[in-house]
Amino acid sequence: MDTYQAIISKRDIRHYTDKPIDDEVLQRVLQAGRMAGTAKNEENNRFILVDDQGVQDSLALAGDFAAWIGSSALIIGFAAPASSIRLFDVGRQAQNMMVAAHAEGLATCPVTLQHPDKARAAVGLPDDWEMPMVITLGWPVEEVPDSPLKRERVSIDELVRRNTWS
Ligand SMILES: Cc1cc2nc3c(=O)[nH]c(=O)nc-3n(C[C@H](O)[C@H](O)[C@H](O)COP(=O)(O)O)c2cc1C
């Protein structure tokens, strides 16, 4: 799969097999996240890898649309000091990882953890850190069901404005 195809064909998938992710593949995915640039080159966040079923189940309770995440082979959480977390940095890292994972045949999905105290307790973060986003990873089931949220993307004409709003 070439880079452009990997980017445009990536869909968010929530249905995984039990197959674990081999370390070589995981290292490439982590490297893809690591190499995303960060604002002021601060690199102040950390990736929390969660493959323990008990911890995954606790994290599932930290999000409002996260009940399913315990079925993934791996959850990667994006943790940072609460006073300096930059979601643009996290988004770049997460998308790099998800596209790299997709190119390896893995399925992924971003998930919001709306309850910071539950997320913090689940993975034992310091009191002044938070982890508002995670991504799930796993090998996709053979027949992936459509997402309940599936719809066409907004058209390029609608999405893109040139020079000014109108
Ligand atoms: C910032 C962000 C937060 C998201 N949070 C959740 C979530 O909490 N639970 C979930 O199941 N999907 C979540 N998603 C996945 C979206 O539902 C998904 O990106 C959207 O439906 C498009 O899916 P598609 O690329 O497969 O078409 C999130 C996506 C983003 C970008």
CA-closest candidate to residue 20, choices 55, 49, 61, 59: 49
* Residue 146 tokens, joined: 């459509």
pLDDT band at 26; cut points 50, 70, 90: very high
Maximum CA pair distance of the chain? 51
Name the CA radius of gyration of the chain, rounded. 16
Taking only the tens place, the pLDDT of each residue in 42-54 is 999 999 999 999 9
Q: Tell whether pTM > 0.75.
A: yes
Q: How far is CA 56 from CA 18, 27, 125, 162, in A?
A: 14, 20, 15, 44
CA-closest candidate to residue 124, choices 54, 31, 42, 27: 54
Q: Which of 109, 118, 137 to mutate to test the pocket of ligand 1 (most atoms within 8 A of CB)?
A: 109
pLDDT of residue 4: 97
pLDDT band at 32; cut points 50, 70, 90: very high
- Tell me the sheet residues that pair with 134: 77, 111
Ligand 1 contacts (CB < 6 A) are 11-12, 14, 63, 65-66, 109-112, 147, 149
Taking only the tens place, the pLDDT of each residue in 60-81 is 999 999 999 999 999 999 999 9
Domains contained in the chain, CATH given: 33-139 (3.40.109.10)
- Residues 119/130, Cβ–Cβ less than 8 Å: yes
Q: Which of 112, 115, 144, 151 to mutate to test the pocket of ligand 1 (most atoms within 8 A of CB)?
A: 112
How far is it, in rounded angstroms, from Cα 81 to Cα 84?
A: 6
pLDDT of residue 76: 98
pLDDT of residue 112: 98
pLDDT of residue 154: 97
Say whether pLDDT at 1 is over 90: no
